[in-house]
Amino acid sequence: MVLTLTDLTAPQGFQRLVLAQDPQAGLRALICLHSTALGPAAGGCRMWAYPDDEAAIHDVTRLARGMTYKNAMADLGLGGGKAVIIGDARTDKTPAMMRAFGAAVDALGGTYWTAEDVGISPADMAHAAEATRFAVGLSGASGDPSPWTAEGVFRCLRVGARHVFGSDDLTGRRVLVQGLGHVGMSLAEKLAAAGARLILTDINQPALEAAATRLGAQTCAPDQVFDQQIDILAPCALGGVLTDDSAQALTARLICGAANNQLAHDGVADALAARGITYLPDYVVNAGGIISVASEIHGHPDAWRLDRLTAIAGRVDQMLARARDTGRLPAQVADEMVAAMLSPRRAA
């Protein structure tokens, strides 16, 4: 192992951006610490074939900032951080690479805790844990965080439905789930059980068809999402799907999904609101996974995780009520709630 860590210039307001490399293990990764005001930074590790380092830095910094907000809103006693491994998870990933990544995390001395994200499994994280105690989401411990993420999104979606439609009964509601990874599939199952009329889409056609048959759902092509007549959109793939153009085309009245960084830019929230569409900030509703991971970091039982999920749904209710009463966007109210939590006095 020939591991090197190089500090890069972190964006303003960020604490640290590190390039970790081990040519022998095939590792080239970025670890970003946005804030440790409320505790050590925590956030998953994503593996993706970024076209260049600039794209990887853009992604890891946005994700790390989102983790600060997510962890603060969920009241987890953790700061925000994220890691990305540059490469194709299907062809490039090896146990040696993951052990090298674990060593990089360990070299940060507990300022960053890592777990699974896109392209990384509990088995991969177990290899990383061979080189650090700061790797969590392990089988036999908190395990795969995906079901917890899906449960949190489902609970928040029902709260949103009550505010938007006057009832949290999803029977007959047309809900489009975009992306059928671990979280999206679990969410689709919950929605089907609740009586929703599902439309599913994913780039994996065989998986899409199998899920549609099993759940009695319709399907659409990934590029036809915004052509569908729907009540609720649940983005559960990668970020940036809500753009100026899609905001004008969308027929849904509620957006609640698991994907991180769903807005292409902050102004899209205004465009959605202008059309009467309620957007539930992703960092609020998709906190179930990090809640599960936090239980492992802090040594808390399942009951603690369930309490935190209930609290997240309660915060969504509070956020929407405050937005309604003040005429502001839910995203603005959520950001203000987080800012109060991150204030020096509150953090202390």
183 is in an annotated binding site: yes
Cα(153)–Cα(120) distance, rounded to whole angstroms?
Answer: 21
Cα(184)–Cα(146) distance, rounded to whole angstroms?
Answer: 9
Q: What's the confidence (pLDDT) of residue 47?
A: 96
Q: Is the pLDDT of residue 168 over 50?
A: yes
181 is in an annotated binding site: yes
- Spatial CA neighbour of 5 closest among 82, 130, 97, 104: 104
pLDDT tier at 348, thresholds 50, 70, 90: very low
- Spatial CA neighbour of 335 closest among 65, 12, 91: 65
Q: Is the pLDDT of residue 209 over 90?
A: yes
Would residue 93 show up in a list of annotated catalytic residues for this protein?
no
Fold match flag (4-67+78-129 vs 146-287+315-339): yes
Percentage of residues in the chain having pLDDT higher than 70: 97
Cα(325)–Cα(332) distance, rounded to whole angstroms?
Answer: 13
Q: Which residue has the tokens 């609290």?
A: 311
What digits encode the pLDDT tens for the residues 66-103?
Answer: 899 999 988 899 999 999 999 999 999 999 999 999 99
Q: Which CATH fold topology does 146-287+315-339 show? A: Rossmann fold (3.40.50)
pTM for this predicted structure = 0.84
Over the chain, what is the mean pLDDT? 93
Q: What's the confidence (pLDDT) of residue 142?
A: 63
From the list 70, 82, 93, 190, the catalytic residue is 82
pLDDT tier at 344, thresholds 50, 70, 90: low
Q: Which CATH class is domain 4-67+78-129?
A: alpha beta
pLDDT tier at 117, thresholds 50, 70, 90: confident
Domains in the chain: boundaries? 4-67+78-129, 146-287+315-339
299 is in an annotated binding site: no
3-class secondary structure per residue, 303-326: HHHHHHHHHHHHHHHHHHHHHHHH
What digits encode the pLDDT tens for the residues 14-49?
Answer: 999 999 999 999 999 999 999 999 999 999 999 999
Q: What's the confidence (pLDDT) of residue 118?
A: 86
